[in-house]
C-alpha cells in the first residue's frame, strides 16, 4: 500500500510539473495518413481515411517513383542556358511523379487545460500551395513550397480529438528541377501562454566581437503587459557566463546588451556556440521560456579588404546545393544532411549556398555546429516567369511575407553571412527589375541590418546597363568569367562574388577518349567523362575560376555548381531519355566522390594532403593505346610509373590553366598492371605515393559503413558503400553486377543508389546494379535498441554482411 501511495504522489507531482511548463513543442511526426489524388471532402472529420497510406512526416510522396519520361515533359527553350529553339525535355524535373494533388490527415488530442493557451501550427516546408483544415474548417493557405509559415489555431481547437488535414497541389511546369512533393519538412504545434515571446521573436546580434570582448544584443518581441525579462548566456558546456534582467520595453520589445569577456569567436575552423535562455515573467510567475543557440562573430565586406570574418580576409570556398537528398528525395533527414556536410568538410569546403530555395532548419543547425558559412537564398523567380507555373504567380502577394519569414526564422544562425534575393531572375532586364531588386533588398535590410544581400546574376551585360548590379550590396555573378573585369570596373562595390561557378559535368568512374576539352559533349551511353574537361554552353572548367580566385584580390570567393548531384536538370542530356539527374556534382547522387572532388580538395583542404590518380586501370582492348593519366594533388610535382617504368616527372606550371592545377601525362600507353604516382618535394625527394591496380574478375562483395552505431529513434541512417573486389582484394572499377539487399534485426532497408544518372531502378527496390563498381545502401534504425544486420548477395560472388548497433 505504501508503494502504491508513493507512486500516486509521484504521479501527481509529475502532472503538476508538466502543467507548469510554460511552452511545449509537439512534433507531429507519426500517425499521418496520406492519399494521392482528389478527395474533395477529405478535410472533414467524418471522412473515412482507413484505406489511406500510413506515413511519417517528413515525407516526399514522389521519390518512390516510378521514373517516367512523360512526367512533366516540357517543350521549352531554357533561356537562362542560352537556348533559342524549344526542345523536348524529359528529365528536367527528375521524371518522378511530383505533380498532382496529395492529402495528409492526422488526429491529435488537446487536453482541456491547453484550450486557454496560445497554440501555433508551424510548417517548415510544404510542397506546394498548401491549404490547411482543422476539424473540417479551413485555417489558411500559403503558396511557396519552400517557405516557412504558421497559423494561430488557438480558437479553432476542440477539447480531446482534433483532425488536421493538409491539401497540397503541385502543378506541372512549376519547377526547373525536382522539387519533391508533400510535407517534406517537419510540422509542429507550439503551445504557450497568451503572455509569451512571439514566434521568431528573439533576435541576437553581436555588434562587438573581438577576442577580448563581445557585445551580445538581444531583442525580444512579446505579447502581454507588465512583464519582465531575464536572459542568461551559457557557454558550450552549459555553464552560465552572463545574464541580464529588464522590465523596460518599448513597443512590445525588450532590448538587452550583455558583455562577454574573452569570447570564443565562431568560424568554420572554430564553430563555437553559445545559448541564450530567455525567460518571461509576470511578477514571479514564469510565463514563457525560449532557448536560442547563437555564435559570436563579425562579418564585413569592403573594396579594401574583400570579405572578412572576425577581422580576417578570406575567400569563400563554397558549393551550391539543391535541397533533395538523392535517394531520400526532399524529405529532410538530419543524419543524411550530416553525412553530406562531413563529405564537404573533408573537401575543404567552408560555405554552402542553398540553391535556389530557403534552407531547412536542420541544415542551418548543422552549418552552425560543423562550421559552414551560409548563403541563404530565397527565390528562383520574381515577377517574370522562367516556367509557366512558377513563383511568378505568387510574387506580388507573397514575396514580402516569404522574405520576412525567412529572415525572422533563421537570422540567429551565425553560419548565415549573406542573403540572396534571387537567382538568374529574368527581371534583370529593365528598370522594373531594378526597382524589384531594391524593394526586396530593403525588406532584408529592415528585418536584418547586419547582413548584405546579393542576387545571382547571369545577364551581366544587362545588369551593368540597367544599374541592377550596382544597387546590390554584393554583385553575384553566375559564370560569365570573361565579364568579371568589366563588371569590377563598372560596379561601385569594389568586389565580385562568384555566386555560381564552373558547371563542369562528369559521371563517376566513366572516362572518354580522347581526353580533350569539350562543350555540351554527348555520348551514346548518356554519360560525361570524368577527365573533367567537359562543361556547358554557358560555363567553364574549374581552372578558369581558380585563376580568378587566386589572381584577383577583388574576387571574394566562389560557390561551385554543384557540391552533390541532384534530381533533375540532366544537362547536357536534358533532351535524352533516360537521363534524369544532374552531372554537375563533385559528388554523385549516392554521395560517392567523383574525380573532380579531389581537384577541388587539392586546393581547398589545406590541412590534409591530396594525391589522387585517374583514370582507373582496367582497359581491356586498349593495350598500347594512349590513355591519359591525370593526378589531382596538393603537391607541386610528381613522377608517374606504369609497371615501374617511369613516365616522367610533371611540375605544375603556368603554361595552360590545366597544367597550373593538374599534373597530366597525356601520352601514357596502356598496359595492365600497376599505375603508380610518387609525389616529390622541390629537391626531388619522395613525399607520398599512390597506386591503382588492374583488377581481375569480380569475386567478393565488400561493405563499408559510414557509421556502425545509430540512435534507436526510427529515423537515424547509416550509409553503406558496397563494392566488389577480385580474388586479390583489388577493387573492380567497371563492375556492373546486380546485387540484392536484406536487413534483419533492429533496423530496416531504407533505400539504395548507385549514382548512375540514367538508372531507372527505384531507389526503394531491394536490388540494383553497381555503377562503376559501387553503390550505396541506406539502412534505418527502429525505435528499439539492438543490432541490425545488412546482407548483400550477388550471383557468382562471395556474399557479405555487416552488423550495425542501435542504442537509446
Judgement on whether residues 279 and 331 belong to the same structural domain of the protein: no
On the question of a cis peptide bond just before residue 615, with omega within 30 degrees of 0, the verdict is yes
Range of the domain at 227: 200-294
Q: What is the CATH number of the domain that holds 685?
A: 2.60.40.10
Residue 186 is placed in which grid cell?
517537419
Strand bridging mode 453-457 / 416-423? parallel
Task: Indicate whether 495 belongs to any domain.
Answer: yes
pLDDT along the chain (808 residues), means of 10: 44 45 96 92 86 97 97 83 84 96 97 96 98 97 98 97 97 96 98 98 98 98 97 98 97 98 98 98 97 98 98 98 98 98 98 98 98 98 96 98 98 98 96 97 98 98 96 98 98 98 98 97 98 97 98 98 98 96 98 98 97 98 98 98 98 98 98 98 95 98 97 97 98 98 98 98 98 98 97 98 97
Task: Indicate whether 639 belongs to any domain.
Answer: yes
Judgement on whether residues 740 and 689 belong to the same structural domain of the protein: no
Buried b (16+ CB within 10 A) or exposed e, 70-103: ebbbbebebebbeeeeeeebbbbbbbbbbbbbbb
CA–CA gap between residue 201 and residue 217 (Å, rounded): 14
The β-bridge partners of 733 are none
For the chain, the straight-line distance linking the first and the last C-alpha, in angstroms and rounded, comes to 33
In this prediction, residue 6 carries a pLDDT of 46
At 576 the three-state DSSP class reads coil
Question: What pTM was computed for the model?
Answer: 0.96
Chosen domain end from 663, 693, 723? 693
Q: Which helix (H) or strand (E) holds 278?
A: strand 274-282
Task: Indicate whether 125 belongs to any domain.
Answer: no
CA-based max dimension of the chain: 91
At 436 the three-state DSSP class reads helix
Judgement on whether residues 377 and 260 belong to the same structural domain of the protein: no
CA–CA gap between residue 696 and residue 793 (Å, rounded): 19
In this prediction, residue 21 carries a pLDDT of 85
Judgement on whether residues 400 and 274 belong to the same structural domain of the protein: no
Task: Indicate whether 590 belongs to any domain.
Answer: no
Quick one: residue 47, left, alpha or beta (phi over 0 = left, psi -120 to 50 = alpha)? beta
CA–CA gap between residue 625 and residue 627 (Å, rounded): 6
CA–CA gap between residue 742 and residue 737 (Å, rounded): 17
Q: Which helix (H) or strand (E) holds 363?
A: helix 361-370
Judgement on whether residues 392 and 491 belong to the same structural domain of the protein: yes
CA–CA gap between residue 153 and residue 108 (Å, rounded): 13
Q: What is the CATH number of the domain that holds 351?
A: 3.20.20.80
CA–CA gap between residue 658 and residue 21 (Å, rounded): 62
- Contact yes or no for 427/471 (Cβ under 8 A): no
Judgement on whether residues 780 and 633 belong to the same structural domain of the protein: no
Chosen domain end from 248, 270, 294? 294
Enzyme catalytic residues: 424, 500
Judgement on whether residues 338 and 447 belong to the same structural domain of the protein: yes
Which residue bears the cell 610533371?
Answer: 650
Angle between helices 595-604 and 334-347 (to 10 degrees): 60
- Total structural domains within the chain: 4
CA–CA gap between residue 426 and residue 32 (Å, rounded): 40
Task: Indicate whether 718 belongs to any domain.
Answer: yes
Residue 261 is placed in which grid cell?
569577456
Chosen domain end from 639, 672, 693? 693
Residue 486 is placed in which grid cell?
568589366
Task: Indicate whether 518 belongs to any domain.
Answer: no
In this prediction, residue 41 carries a pLDDT of 79
Mean pLDDT (the chain) is: 96
Going by C-alpha positions, the residue among 602, 489, 482, 548 that lies closest to residue 315 is 548
Judgement on whether residues 377 and 466 belong to the same structural domain of the protein: yes
Which residue bears the cell 507519426?
Answer: 30
Task: Indicate whether 562 belongs to any domain.
Answer: yes
The β-bridge partners of 690 are 677
Judgement on whether residues 286 and 310 belong to the same structural domain of the protein: no
CA–CA gap between residue 156 and residue 164 (Å, rounded): 11
Judgement on whether residues 332 and 251 belong to the same structural domain of the protein: no
Judgement on whether residues 471 and 560 belong to the same structural domain of the protein: yes
CA–CA gap between residue 345 and residue 544 (Å, rounded): 23
In this prediction, residue 20 carries a pLDDT of 63
Judgement on whether residues 215 and 327 belong to the same structural domain of the protein: no
Task: Indicate whether 673 belongs to any domain.
Answer: yes
Amino acid at each position: 500500500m505504501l508503494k502504491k501511495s508513493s507512486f500516486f504522489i509521484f504521479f501527481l507531482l509529475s502532472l503538476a510539473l508538466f502543467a507548469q511548463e510554460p511552452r511545449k513543442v509537439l512534433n507531429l511526426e507519426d500517425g499521418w495518413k496520406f492519399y494521392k489524388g482528389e478527395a474533395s471532402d477529405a478535410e472533414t472529420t467524418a471522412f473515412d481515411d482507413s484505406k489511406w497510406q500510413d506515413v511519417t512526416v517528413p515525407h516526399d510522396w514522389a521519390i518512390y517513383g516510378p521514373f517516367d519520361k512523360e512526367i512533366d515533359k516540357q517543350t521549352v527553350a531554357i533561356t537562362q542556358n542560352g537556348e533559342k529553339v524549344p526542345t523536348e525535355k524529359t528529365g528536367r524535373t527528375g521524371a518522378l511523379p511530383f505533380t498532382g494533388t496529395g492529402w495528409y490527415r492526422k488526429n491529435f488530442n488537446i487536453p482541456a487545460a491547453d484550450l486557454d493557451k496560445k497554440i501555433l501550427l508551424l510548417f517548415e516546408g510544404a510542397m506546394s500551395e498548401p491549404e490547411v483544415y482543422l476539424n473540417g474548417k479551413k485555417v489558411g493557405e500559403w503558396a511557396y513550397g519552400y517557405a516557412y509559415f504558421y497559423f494561430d489555431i488557438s480558437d479553432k481547437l476542440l477539447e480531446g480529438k482534433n483532425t488536421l488535414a493538409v491539401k497540397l497541389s503541385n502543378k506541372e511546369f512549376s519547377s526547373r528541377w525536382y522539387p519533391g512533393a508533400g510535407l517534406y519538412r517537419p510540422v509542429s504545434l507550439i503551445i504557450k501562454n497568451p503572455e509569451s515571446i512571439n514566434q521568431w521573436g528573439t533576435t541576437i546580434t553581436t555588434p562587438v566581437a573581438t577576442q577580448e570582448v563581445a557585445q551580445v544584443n538581444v531583442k525580444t518581441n512579446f505579447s502581454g503587459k507588465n512583464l519582465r525579462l531575464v536572459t542568461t548566456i551559457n557557454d558550450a558546456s552549459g555553464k552560465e557566463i552572463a545574464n541580464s534582467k529588464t522590465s523596460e520595453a518599448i513597443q512590445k520589445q525588450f532590448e538587452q546588451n550583455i558583455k562577454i569577456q574573452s569570447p570564443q569567436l565562431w568560424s568554420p575552423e572554430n564553430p563555437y556556440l553559445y545559448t541564450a535562455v530567455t525567460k518571461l515573467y509576470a511578477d514571479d510567475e514564469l510565463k514563457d521560456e525560449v532557448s536560442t543557440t547563437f555564435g559570436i562573430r563579425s562579418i564585413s565586406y569592403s573594396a579594401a579588404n574583400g570579405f572578412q570574418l572576425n577581422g580576417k580576409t578570406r575567400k569563400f570556398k563554397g558549393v551550391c546545393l539543391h535541397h533533395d537528398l538523392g535517394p531520400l528525395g526532399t524529405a529532410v533527414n538530419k543524419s543524411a544532411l550530416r553525412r553530406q556536410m562531413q563529405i564537404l568538410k573533408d573537401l575543404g569546403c567552408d560555405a554552402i549556398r542553398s540553391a535556389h530555395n530557403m534552407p531547412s532548419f536542420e541544415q542551418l543547425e548543422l552549418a552552425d555546429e560543423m562550421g559552414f558559412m551560409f548563403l541563404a537564398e530565397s527565390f528562383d523567380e520574381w515577377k517574370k516567369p522562367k516556367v509557366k507555373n512558377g513563383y511568378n504567380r505568387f510574387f506580388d502577394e507573397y514575396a514580402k511575407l516569404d522574405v520576412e519569414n525567412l529572415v525572422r526564422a533563421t537570422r540567429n544562425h551565425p553560419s548565415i553571412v549573406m542573403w540572396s534575393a534571387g537567382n538568374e531572375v529574368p527581371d534583370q532586364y529593365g528598370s522594373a527589375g531594378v526597382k524589384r531588386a531594391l524593394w526586396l533588398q530593403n525588406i532584408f535590410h529592415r528585418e536584418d541590418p547586419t547582413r548584405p544581400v546579393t542576387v545571382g546574376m547571369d545577364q551581366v551585360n544587362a545588369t551593368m546597363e540597367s544599374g541592377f548590379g550596382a544597387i546590390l550590396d554584393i554583385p553575384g555573378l553566375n559564370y560569365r568569367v570573361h565579364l568579371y573585369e568589366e563588371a569590377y570596373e563598372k560596379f561601385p562595390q569594389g568586389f565580385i562574388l562568384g555566386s555560381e561557378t564552373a558547371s563542369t559535368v562528369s559521371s563517376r568512374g566513366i572516362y572518354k577518349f580522347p581526353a580533350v576539352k569539350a562543350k555540351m559533349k554527348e555520348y551514346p551511353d548518356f554519360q560525361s567523362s570524368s577527365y573533367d574537361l567537359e562543361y556547358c554552353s554557358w560555363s567553364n572548367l574549374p581552372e578558369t575560376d581558380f585563376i580568378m580566385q587566386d589572381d584577383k584580390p577583388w574576387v571574394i570567393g566562389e560557390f561551385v555548381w554543384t557540391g552533390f548531384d541532384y534530381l533533375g536538370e540532366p544537362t547536357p542530356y536534358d533532351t535524352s531519355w533516360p537521363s534524369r539527374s544532374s552531372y554537375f556534382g563533385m559528388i554523385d547522387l549516392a554521395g560517392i566522390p567523383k574525380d573532380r572532388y579531389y581537384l577541388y580538395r587539392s586546393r581547398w583542404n589545406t590541412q590534409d594532403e591530396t594525391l589522387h590518380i585517374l583514370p582507373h586501370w582496367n582497359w581491356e582492348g586498349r593495350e598500347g593505346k594512349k590513355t591519359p593519366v591525370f593526378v589531382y594533388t596538393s603537391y607541386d610535382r610528381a613522377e608517374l610509373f606504369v609497371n615501374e617504368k617511369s613516365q616522367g616527372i610533371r611540375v605544375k606550371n603556368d603554361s595552360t590553366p590545366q597544367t597550373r592545377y593538374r599534373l597530366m601525362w597525356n601520352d601514357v600507353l596502356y598496359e595492365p598492371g600497376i599505375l603508380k604516382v610518387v609525389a616529390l618535394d622541390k629537391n626531388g625527394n619522395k613525399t607520398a605515393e599512390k597506386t591503382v591496380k588492374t583488377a581481375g574478375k569480380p569475386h567478393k562483395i565488400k561493405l563499408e559503413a559510414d557509421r556502425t552505431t545509430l540512435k534507436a529513434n526510427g529515423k537515424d541512417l547509416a550509409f553503406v558503400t558496397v563494392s566488389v573486389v577480385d580474388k586479390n582484394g583489388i577493387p573492380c572499377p567497371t563492375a556492373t553486377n546486380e546485387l540484392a539487399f536484406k536487413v534483419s534485426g533492429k533496423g530496416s532497408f531504407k533505400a539504395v543508389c548507385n549514382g548512375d544518372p540514367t538508372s531507372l531502378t527505384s531507389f526503394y527496390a531491394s536490388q540494383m546494379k553497381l555503377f562503376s563498381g559501387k553503390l550505396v545502401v541506406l539502412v534505418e534504425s527502429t525505435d528499439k535498441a539492438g543490432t541490425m544486420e545488412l546482407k548483400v548477395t550477388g550471383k557468382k560472388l562471395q556474399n557479405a554482411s555487416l552488423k550495425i548497433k542501435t542504442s537509446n
